[in-house]
Amino acid sequence: MISANAAMTGFYDYGEAARSVLIAIAASYAALDLAGRVTAASGRARLARLSGGAIAMGIGIWAMHFKAMLAFRLPVSVKYQWPTVLLSLVIAILAAAFALYVASREKFGSVQALTGSVIMGGGIATLHYIDMAAMRLPAITRFSLLLVIFSILLAVLFSLLALQLAFDLREETRWSVPRRLGSATLMGVAVSAMHYTGMAAASFIPGPPPDLSHAVSISQLGNNGIAIVTLIVIVAAMDYHPVQQFIVESVEGDRFFNSLCVPIAVVFHD
């Protein structure tokens, strides 16, 4: 039996960790802003804003978790199985869609709060541990059950806080930016705490070489690219100017379908 003392010693790049927290805050601010936009819309425009908001918010949540994982350094090479990482992104978008839907409803009672926080929190915890399952390295991952449970509880509590703040601030006009920024900072720190608690639950014991099927390594350029693209998507989702107006109007009319009728070339490589 391998001794627990054989666990690898890891450390964090604090600069990368700080950037992951900033992404979490940006995604949280977007959630608060988008909740109000979804609430104010109806019909197909509401669906368009809900879909766009879910994609932006989901990418933000996912990017925070994945970038925070990349901030963790181990003395061995770590790759990631991209289909599993993609699955975690889909889960993040679905969790974000559900959160925006709940926060934009007319009522937010105790039943909605409990159900919403459990589903959203469960989704966030799921994407975190799926991302960890995507890791490919010559080690066996072991988890502290107590810390895993604690991280899931934190995810549920964070979700309850996020949903309540999004509901309360969705129609806020006076002091909206300072209040949303303060609330987003609180939410961003909370979701980051959940992530790093989940990471603390894991220990890595030296093991056999991993299966590298569909595994990719993430360069520093790719790491920075994740942050840049995520912030662009979040800002674009919040900045309601003619581009977003065109999307909303297109969904309501035939222009949306006509705009899809463009030639697209797809090349497959064996």
Predicted local confidence at residue 260, as pLDDT: 45
Strands 79-81 and 215-216, sheet pairing: antiparallel
Residue 165 has pLDDT above 70, yes or no: yes
Q: Residue 218 gets which letter from DSSP?
A: -
What does the alpha-carbon distance between residue 245 and residue 236 come to, in Å, rounded to a whole number?
12
Query: What's the rounded mean pLDDT across residues 197-215?
Result: 89
Predicted local confidence at residue 6, as pLDDT: 78
pLDDT band at 175 (very low <50, low <70, confident <90, very high): low
Q: Note the residue count of the chain.
A: 270
Which residue matches tokens 């959630």? 31
Is 106 within 8 Å of 44 (Cβ atoms)? Answer: no
Domain regions of the chain by residue span: 4-258
What does the alpha-carbon distance between residue 246 and residue 86 come to, in Å, rounded to a whole number?
29
Query: What's the rounded mean pLDDT across residues 54-76?
Result: 89
Residue 104 has pLDDT above 50, yes or no: yes
The stretches of 104-217 forming alpha helices (DSSP H) are 110-133, 145-169, 176-200
Highest-scoring range by mean pLDDT, 130-134, 184-188, 220-224, 250-254: 130-134
> For residue 200, which phi and psi values (nearest 5 degrees)?
-65, -20
Inter-residue long-range contacts of 183-187, CB under 8 Å, 24+ positions, other chains counted: 183/28, 183/32, 184/25, 184/26, 184/28, 184/29, 184/31, 184/32, 185/25, 185/28, 186/161, 187/24, 187/25, 187/28, 187/31, 187/32, 187/158, 187/161, 187/162
Give residue-wise pLDDT tens across range 214-245: 888 887 767 777 888 888 877 777 765 444 45
Residue 97 has pLDDT above 60, yes or no: yes
pLDDT band at 41 (very low <50, low <70, confident <90, very high): confident
Is 88 within 8 Å of 131 (Cβ atoms)? Answer: yes
Residue 258 has pLDDT above 70, yes or no: no
- pLDDT over 70, % of the chain: 83
Q: Is 144 left (phi over 0), alpha (psi -120 to 50) or beta?
A: beta
Predicted local confidence at residue 129, as pLDDT: 94
Is 15 within 8 Å of 147 (Cβ atoms)? Answer: no
Is 93 within 8 Å of 58 (Cβ atoms)? Answer: yes
Residue 59 has pLDDT above 70, yes or no: yes
pLDDT band at 107 (very low <50, low <70, confident <90, very high): confident
Beta strands in the chain, from DSSP E residues, in sequence order: 11-12, 72-73, 79-81, 135-136, 139-143, 202-206, 215-216
For the full predicted model, state whether its pTM sits above 0.85. Answer: no
